[in-house]
Amino acid sequence: MQTKRTVFPNKLLPYLLIAPQIFVTVVFFLWPAATAFWQSFLRQDAFGFKTNFVWFENYRRLFADPIYINAFGHTLIFAILVTVLSTAIALLLAAAAMRVLRTSRIYSTLLIWPYAVAPAIAGILWWFMFNPSIGIVAYMLRAMGVSWNHLINPDDAMTLIVIAATWKQISYNFLFFLAALQSVPRSLQEAGAIDGAGPVKRFWTIVFPLISPTTFYLIVINIVYAMFDTFGIVHATTQGGPARATEILVYKVYFDGFIGLNLGSSAAQSVILMVIVVALTAVQFRFIERRVQY
Amino acid sequence: MATINIIDVKKNYGAVPAVKGINLSVADGELIVLVGPSGCGKSTLLRMVAGLETISEGDVEIAGRNVNKAEPADRDIAMVFQNYALYPHMTVRGNLEYGLKNRGTERAEINRRVAEAAEILEIGPMLDRKPRELSGGQRQRVAMGRAIVREPAAFLFDEPLSNLDAKLRVQMRVEIRRLQRRLKTTSIYVTHDQLEAMTLADRLVVMNGGLVEQVGTPVAVYDRPASLFVASFIGSPPMNLVPVDVVRAADSAGTLVLPAGTDMVGLRPDALLVIKPVEPTVRLNATVELLEPIGGESHLHVRLGKSQRTVVLTVPGRPDFAENANIDVFARVDAMHPFNSDTGKRTD
Amino acid sequence: MVENRPFLNFLAHLVLILGVTIVVFPVYVAFIASSHGPNDFLSGVVPLTPGSHIIENYSTMLSSGMTSSGAPPIGPMMINSLIMAVGVAVGKIAISILSAFAIVYFRFPFRTLAFWMIFITLMLPVEVRIVPTYKVVADLGMLNNYGGLIIPLIASATATFLFRQFFLTVPDELMEAARVDGAGPMKFFRDILLPLSITNIAALFIILFVLGWNQYLWPLIITTDQSFYTVVMGIQRMAAVADAEPRWNLVMAAVILAALPPVLVIVAMQRLFVKGLVETEK
């Protein structure tokens, strides 16, 4: 692993320096993760007296449970929609901002602040706007003849959380796309123009391929965001409803663990989520060379 | 007496030996230059003296004291780095004072030393500026100032001029020499530039592959290189190395006497002439390959006789030689350096 | 932009203005709503212009909250959020910079192991290990206090990586010169490394402050005592009221208040924030 060519000779000091982080990591990250892992192989009996080691029984039950499969499906749909929408819109905005470079500072300021808004608050804002009785968007929809009720209609509820999650994530993607677009050498665009390509053609054939590392990186990050950071959106608004239509995996882990008190199942779900995160992080590090060199 | 003794010092990186056993004594007030190609171990040796690298075997003594286990700060040395290593967030004054403050030197003494160094190096007007506002040459002077205020037993220079442009390098070379002469501080100076080595050193240490090839005054090393390596490393353009039979074949009179074991002969570019001198020479047949005028003199590249070996001559002025012209080259017998290519060493 | 295509420029501006509108609209609506009185919503149509109840609504939320819906006053909650956000940001920065310093400037047994242990925390967001972490915190008696809110969150791989990457770009000679100048490791850290890291620390502080302020799940599960609620999680109780229609004007006032501090921070420090964001994720 990379170090400096000269290091300090102290033997004890480095351990002292690294101790706080290792301590917190072990106590609050590694130990709970290990506990979850262990607990996923246990099952309490109906009266809560005895705990049995049941191997992969919890996992088997999960994957046989239509509700869990549903949650999986919802999560997948949710993640894909949010990722595609927020990256596409952000790319469009970033490309537009590049075109009007001089004023782009103002647009940037106006577009990046949603990053600072908590997902839960984003959820509440859109929940309010779509409120069937007093929400302004609901009002406009009704005026156009579209009926809307996210309290009853599962698709409407899913649409709501997708919009809220996308709205918040656009600014993050916008920032990265803008930085990436600005790093494409102008000379390449000029060469393309001389070669007879118009701006739109140039964008898709020259610029877009060149920013593909950023695009790829953002896709992975967005998927992680959609899967894990959106707990607040669901909990603050639909709470998984109506009829579990918006129950995404990260919400289910909480619900089954804290409300349902089904520890074995919640632990198994945690482990499954861990595997997913590990896979996504591995992909991110493997294919995106710009990361830390070892 | 600030002498430095390097006694059989070795450095291994794992199984790889970088420095293979160096013995060297630096006298008080001497400026010794470690010169050699990249990777020869000269910087490693310097850093071991400084305490920035651990010593695998052997001993280093500074001012009579064994410093193997001492921290750099406790070895009474000051170092000037290739990249200046000035603290970017401190002013020039801050940079100069830092080492003294760490040692608890009194404020009055700090001020005195800083003022003196500033005067010697002419950096007084820059004392309150930050390094990024200075030019390369100015930064290098501040780096030297940092070394001076410490009033150490020895200066250690690690290729300090490599980052400067050619003209500045010449100017700074003179300044460093003058400074060292004035302060009379024992100094070890590392460089890969043989010209720098020749002009600065009281004594030269030519290194190659972790070992010392030759130690001596610049003139001695130039006049009598002890090995093929030193012969081709010191001097520009480099010494021409010619197989001995080429020379013998041209020795029609048979008067050439060379020591036993000689199979290579070294001839400096100025030992090969196009006009026969009064000194005894051997006449070689050659074909002109290329003439490089460099101003007051020219470098003439020729191919020797049947061997087609290329040698370089320095000729005065700008003579008019056509390409592929056939000419006579006279090799001065008294300027021949005999070598054995198996041992790589001089045979006399 | 290479050639002059006025139509495309117009289109670009249009797209951007549309984007800004979509982005700003919800907040505008919220702000308008928060400025109206309690009865302005009964007509079923949301007004689009500010009302006259701004001061009244905001001060109510700040001081007394909506006791009828079990929501505490916003003021104290915002203070809790502030403590948590600053605590998390400072905590993360402090322990990460020390760890990065140890990993880069020293060689010691288990160094690689320590590095990978820190790396693993990237793959363990709190949502993934929620029940067991809660148990650990509960067992340590850290529920319902600031320690429990802050400490479990401060192991951060991202900050450590950022500092590590930055330290690797600091020239070796700087540290060697400092050593020759008599500086031990901590002196070097304080006198030289820290001043050079200020920009990174500031940028990171902004991001971590926002992250800490916006924590939702963690405060939700470890605080049952209202006096420790943070504002972002506390708001949920007002908005998702099961039986009655929430009092939207007050809820929106609370929402604006809850969202304001982090937004102000990143807008004020936009340059630094953008730099920090793009640097940490690289």
> How much of chain B exceeds pLDDT 70, in percent?
100
Best of C131, C176, C255 to disrupt the A interface (most A CBs within 10 Å) is C131
In this structure, is residue A86 part of a structural domain? yes
Q: Domains in chain A: how many in total?
A: 1
Q: Which class is domain B4-229?
A: alpha beta
pLDDT for C98 equals 95
The mean pLDDT value of chain C amounts to: 83
Chain B segment 7-66 residues within 8 A of C by beta carbon are 50-52
Domain boundaries, chain B: 4-229, 240-339
Q: Which residues of C, range 25-54, sit inside 8 Å of A by Cβ?
A: 25-27, 29-30, 33, 41, 44-46, 48
Nearest in space to B97 (alpha carbons), one of B122, B87, C255: B87
Q: Taking CB atoms and an 8 Å limit, are A6 and B53 in contact across chains?
A: yes
> How many Å lie between the alpha carbon of C136 and the closest alpha carbon of chain A?
7
Residue A105 lies in a domain: yes
Residue B82 touches partner A, C-beta closer than 8 Å: no
Interchain contact, A6 vs B71, CB within 8 Å: no
Would an 8 Å CB–CB cutoff place C192 in contact with chain B? yes
Per CATH, the number for B240-339 is 2.40.50.140
User: Average pLDDT in the B12-38 region?
Assistant: 93
Q: Is C281 on the interface with B (CB under 8 A)?
A: no
DSSP state of A49: S
* Residue/partner pairs of C189-192 with CB below 8 Å, 24 or more apart: C189/C101, C191/B87, C191/B98, C192/B87, C192/B89
What's the pLDDT score for residue B145?
Answer: 93
B52: distance to nearest CA of chain A, Å? 7
With CB atoms and an 8 Å threshold, state whether B52 touches A6.
yes
Q: Which residues of C touch A235 (CB under 8 A)?
A: 216-217, 220, 236
Residues B37 and B208: beta-carbon distance below 8 Å: yes
Interface test with C, best of A15, A42, A92, A113 (most C CBs within 10 A): A113
Q: Is C171 on the interface with B (CB under 8 A)?
A: yes
Q: C246 pLDDT exceeds 70?
A: no
C217 and A199 in contact by Cβ < 8 A?
no
Complex prediction ipTM: 0.85
- Do the domain assignments include residue A15? no
Are B234 and B198 in contact by the 8 Å Cβ rule? The answer is: yes
Query: For residues B14 and B184, is the Cβ–Cβ distance under 8 A?
Result: no
Q: Does C187 lie at the interface with B, CB-CB under 8 angstroms? A: yes
Task: Quickly state the pLDDT bin for B307 (edges 50, 70, 90).
Answer: confident
Residue A28: partners with Cβ closer than 8 Å, 6 or more residues away = C133, C136, C137, C151, C152, C155
Q: Which helix (H) or strand (E) holds A37?
A: helix A31-39
Map residue B5 onto helix, strand or coil.
Answer: strand
Q: Which pLDDT tens digit goes with each residue over B120-132?
A: 999 999 999 999 9
Strand partners, B66: B61
Task: Read off the tokens for C92.
Answer: 């993360």
Region B71-97: mean pLDDT is: 91
CB pairs under 8 A between A and C: 329
Chain A / chain B CB contacts < 8 angstroms? 3
* Residue B231 phi, psi (nearest 5): -60, -45
* Distance in Å, alpha carbon of B91 to nearest chain A alpha carbon: 25
Bigger pLDDT: B167 vs A193: B167
pLDDT tens, position by position, C214-226 = 999 899 888 888 8
DSSP summary character for residue B227: B
Element (H, E) at C82: helix C74-105
The domains of chain C are located at 6-280
Using 70 as the pLDDT threshold, list the residues of chain A that sit under it: 1, 45-49, 102-104, 287-294
Q: HEC states along B324-341? A: CCEEEEEEEHHHCEEECC
Q: Give chain B's mean pLDDT.
A: 91
In a domain? residue A48 = no
Contacts of A239 in chain C (CB under 8 A): 240
Band of the pLDDT at C116, cuts 50, 70, 90? confident
For residues C175-194, average pLDDT:
93
In this structure, the number of other CB atoms found within 10 A of the CB of residue A187 comes to 8
Is the pLDDT assigned to residue C45 strictly greater than 70? Answer: no
User: What pairs with residue B301 in β-bridges?
Assistant: B290, B312
Share of chain C above pLDDT 70, in %: 87
**Alpha carbons C193 and C178: distance in angstroms, whole number:** 11
**CATH class (in words) of the domain with range C6-280:** mainly alpha
Note whether C82 contacts A: Cβ–Cβ < 8 A: no
Of residues C106, C134, C255, nearest to A121 (C-beta): C255
Domain that holds residue A176: 58-287
How large is the average pLDDT for residues B155-178? Answer: 91
Locus of tokens 């060469």:
A191
Report which of C14, C7, C6, C34 is spatially closest to residue C251, judged by C-alpha positions: C34
Tokens linked to C157: 């791989």
pLDDT of the residue at A293: 37
